[in-house]
Amino acid sequence: MNLNIISFIFGVIVNIVDDINDYHIYKEWQFSFELILLLLSVYILFLNKRLSSIASIIFFVGGVCGFIFAPHIIAAPIWKKIIALSVLPFLYTLKNVWEQREKINIRDWKNAVFIIVPLFIFSTLFSLIEDTFVPEEVSKTKIVDRLFQCVMVAGCIYYLPRLQNKYHLSLFQYRGLNVAAWGWLGYALASVIGIIYFFQFPSIEDTDLLN
């Protein structure tokens, strides 16, 4: 299956599981969707060679950032399980990078330092800022925020081939940015649909949902 489709579907399922845990509704579906998410995570981390290294870096490093800066975001057991699953693939990826370090050219190192790392820092800071300033789960503000994310990520996906041509990103770097963007797009788009749907359940939050 196309890697972008897998990433998009993964993002959608992550949002569904996130909604079930946050809203505490449709609990009868929680086990099924969390099982699907775990199985898909196992497939990505251990069975898909093209996604394993990329996903292990995103899951593990993202998880560590979550533990340090926003532990409530990954408080649900399902997120801790996925982070735990990523540990061995992440260590294996580090081992491969270390063993191949002399074969990695200077351009790839520069792209990693000046493009990949800053983009990761930006996405992490964006998530933390969003969690601080738009904490409510269901609101018009949240819809605008997630629509903005959809447009932003879609723009990144559109611009990415030009970025690759201009800076000669390696296949691994290009693939990593691409699948991360498609996963983010799946999550944000599913979130917009979910928020609109959950407007008909004003009892899921104690606060005024329409602020």
Question: Given pLDDT bands bounded at 50, 70 and 90, which one contains residue 202?
Answer: low
Question: Given pLDDT bands bounded at 50, 70 and 90, which one contains residue 198?
Answer: confident
d(CA 164, CA 173) in angstroms, rounded, equals 9
Q: How many other C-beta atoms lie within 10 A of the C-beta of residue 58?
A: 20
CA distances from 167 to 68, 105, 186 (A): 33, 13, 27
Question: Cα-atom radius of gyration of the chain, to the nearest Å?
Answer: 18
pLDDT, tens digit (0-9, with 9 covering 90-100), for 34-93: 999 999 999 999 999 999 999 999 999 999 999 999 898 899 999 999 999 999 999 999
pLDDT, tens digit (0-9, with 9 covering 90-100), for 159-189: 999 999 999 999 999 999 999 999 999 999 9
pLDDT, tens digit (0-9, with 9 covering 90-100), for 87-141: 999 999 999 999 988 888 999 999 999 999 999 999 989 988 888 887 766 678 8
Q: What does the pLDDT average to over 13-32?
A: 90
166: tokens are 């201009």
pLDDT at position 15 is 95
CA distances from 61 to 5, 38, 41, 69 (A): 23, 18, 15, 12
pLDDT at position 211 is 38
Check whether 207 has a pLDDT greater than 60: no
pLDDT at position 137 is 66
Amino acid (one-letter) located at 191: S
pLDDT at position 206 is 43
207 or 184: whose pLDDT is higher? 184
210 or 158: whose pLDDT is higher? 158
pLDDT at position 132 is 82
Q: What does the pLDDT average to over 144-165?
A: 95
